[in-house]
Copies of this chain bind each other. A is one copy, B any other.
Amino acid sequence: MADAVSPVGHTSVRVRYAETDQQGIAHHAHYFVWMELGRTALLRDLGFPYDRVEAEGLVFTVVEASCRFVGAARYDEEVEIETRVGAVRSRTAAFDTTLRVAGRPIARGSVTLAALDSRRRPGRVPTPLVAALRGAARS
């Protein structure tokens, strides 16, 4: 549908003191951890909590990650994490994340996960999860 809003995962996190650096803002490496929290929340919302994925002998590994930082987050500020599904293939799935503080974007990132089996050899994203992710991406 033309005007449909894509289903997205929403969660939020408060900046921890330990996440600040001597510039007085959250260190950029933590943004990748926060984006992971967004994926965790999205997968849970889709009915595929990630711990259950791993319990079935599959792991997702990050094969590509990028982020543009357009603002900063300070101690104790609440960072809103909005995650959308990007390209979904048989072996990989991409996720696009926007991070905001008080509604104002501070970063936009994209992370691609690849499925691996228990020996870290290329695996396949389970068919039901592919379907759920594509459904989320399409709508």
Contact = CB atoms under 8 A, between A and B. Distances in A.
Interface of A: 16-18, 20-25, 27-30, 32-33, 36-37, 40, 49-51, 54, 59, 61-70, 72, 74-76, 120
B66 A62 contact: no
User: Nearest 6 CB-CB pairs, A to B?
Assistant: A66-B66, A20-B22, A29-B32, A28-B62, A22-B24, A18-B33
Tell me whether chain A's interface is mostly helix, strand or loop, or mixed: mixed
A91 to B, nearest CB: 14
A7 B25 CA distance: 32
B36 A18 contact: yes
Contacts of A74: 51
Nearest to A110: B66
A134 B62 CA distance: 33
